[in-house]
Amino acid sequence: MSPPAKRRRTTRSTAKQDALVEEAAALAAAVVEVQTIEAPIGEALVVEAPINKVPIVEAPTVEASTIETSTEQSPVEDVEMQPPAEDDTPSAEAAVAKQSEAASDNVDPAAKAKERMARFKALQARAKTSSEKNLKEVTLESQRLATDPSQLTALHRKHAVASHKLLKANVEESGEDFERKRAWDWTIDESEKWDKRVKKKEAARDNNAFQDYTQENNKIYKRQLRNINPDLDRYAKDKMAAVEKAAASGGLDIVETEDGELIAVDKDGSFYSTADSTTFAQNKPDTAAVDRLVDDLRKAEEQRLKKRKERMAQNGDDGDVTYINEKNKQFNQKLSRFYNKYTAEIRDSFERGTMI
């Protein structure tokens, strides 16, 4: 009678096993639904992971077939509930990383190598261009440093003088008038302007020495006038405004001549400036005029210091003044030639204050 009993027990154990499998499947489905509700939209790929774990829950089905053939092992003890592990679920970042790796793997290696070679050639061309440009700038800088502007100007002057002498010798050798032939290259107006300029330059050269302060101030005033660039548009505008204001106040009468020209007549002599006029005190210069005045003063100060430095270098007065007159200066220079090598250290010690 034992075989039927074994068969009935196997049937009951199979029914229990089926019930446990169904319960585990329902639990797994509930877990999947909960994760689907709680997961954000961006993590849709994560929700599908527990579905792949369902075969782990259905593993007892295989063991159930084993139980049917084995009567000595308990089926309840062999069934193990294995809920889906949340730790094994991949994150969204990992999924995106895997997708990017897969996309990069799908890129053709030949195309990638070609792109890298193109970038490398572009960098090589850029480096070559920069190197050539730097070499060119360095060459120009070395040429500028090696060339003395004063010597270059003197060389051009010597070349012009030599050309002039050679041309004069050739013309005189042929029996022609040199000045007449050279004048063919200039107009009468240009020749007169040149003669006037040469005459003025010679007069300025003769008048270079200091005579008195009045003459010196006159020279400075003329030099400043040469450097002034008058604003004729502003002058015409201010003049028209002054004429209209004077005409409105009654100081000027606008008279029309027979030719139709308008002339302003000063009735009381208050419009046009005289030596006793003080209307210039009401003038308010603009910012540009003030800046120009400041610039002129600064240039005059720089020129004064430059001339003073040149005079001191010419007279050997670069150091301290150790003389009271020209005779004493010559005597001190004679002493310096013989005793400077012995007294230089002592003087330096006195100046530093380390002698005492």
Q: What is the mean pLDDT of residues 46-67?
A: 43
**Distant-in-sequence, close-in-space partners of 168: CB < 8 Å, separation ≥ 6:** 178
Q: What is the mean pLDDT of residues 234-262?
A: 79
Average pLDDT of the chain?
74
Residue 59: predicted pLDDT: 44
Q: Which residue has the higher pLDDT, 129 or 341?
A: 129
Give the span between the Cα atoms of 141 and 135, in whole angstroms.
Answer: 10
Percent of the chain with pLDDT over 70: 67
Q: Poorest-confidence range of 36-45, 191-200, 277-286?
A: 36-45
For residue 203, the surrounding DSSP H or E stretch is helix 188-206
Q: Poorest-confidence range of 30-44, 55-69, 234-248, 317-331?
A: 55-69
Q: Judge whether residue 306 has pLDDT over 50.
A: yes
Strands (E) in the chain, as ranges, are 252-256, 262-266
Q: Poorest-confidence range of 118-132, 187-201, 231-245?
A: 231-245
Q: Quick one: pLDDT band at residue 105, thresholds 50, 70, 90?
A: low
210-244 pLDDT tens trace: 677 888 888 888 888 888 888 889 888 888 887 78
Q: Quick one: pLDDT band at residue 280, thresholds 50, 70, 90?
A: confident
Give the span between the Cα atoms of 305 and 326, in whole angstroms.
Answer: 22
Q: Judge whether residue 143 has pLDDT over 80.
A: yes
DSSP helix/strand/coil, 351: helix
306 alpha carbon, distance to own chain's centre: 33
Q: Judge whether residue 80 has pLDDT over 50.
A: no
**55-64, 179-188, 249-258 — which one is most confidently predicted on average?**
179-188
- Residue found under tokens 């970038």: 119
Question: Per the structure block, which two tokens stand in for 145?
Answer: 């440093």
DSSP helix/strand/coil, 314: helix
Q: Quick one: pLDDT band at residue 130, thresholds 50, 70, 90?
A: very high
Give the span between the Cα atoms of 35 and 240, in whole angstroms.
Answer: 91
**Distant-in-sequence, close-in-space partners of 179: CB < 8 Å, separation ≥ 6:** none
Q: Quick one: pLDDT band at residue 53, thresholds 50, 70, 90?
A: very low
CB 68 within 8 A of CB 10: yes
Residue 107: predicted pLDDT: 65
For the chain, the residue count is: 356
The secondary structure of residue 281, as a DSSP letter, is: G
Q: Judge whether residue 299 has pLDDT over 60.
A: yes
Give the span between the Cα atoms of 78 and 304, in whole angstroms.
Answer: 113
Residue 66: predicted pLDDT: 42
DSSP track, 141-153: HHHHHH--HHHHH
Q: Judge whether residue 118 has pLDDT over 70.
A: yes
**Distant-in-sequence, close-in-space partners of 329: CB < 8 Å, separation ≥ 6:** 323
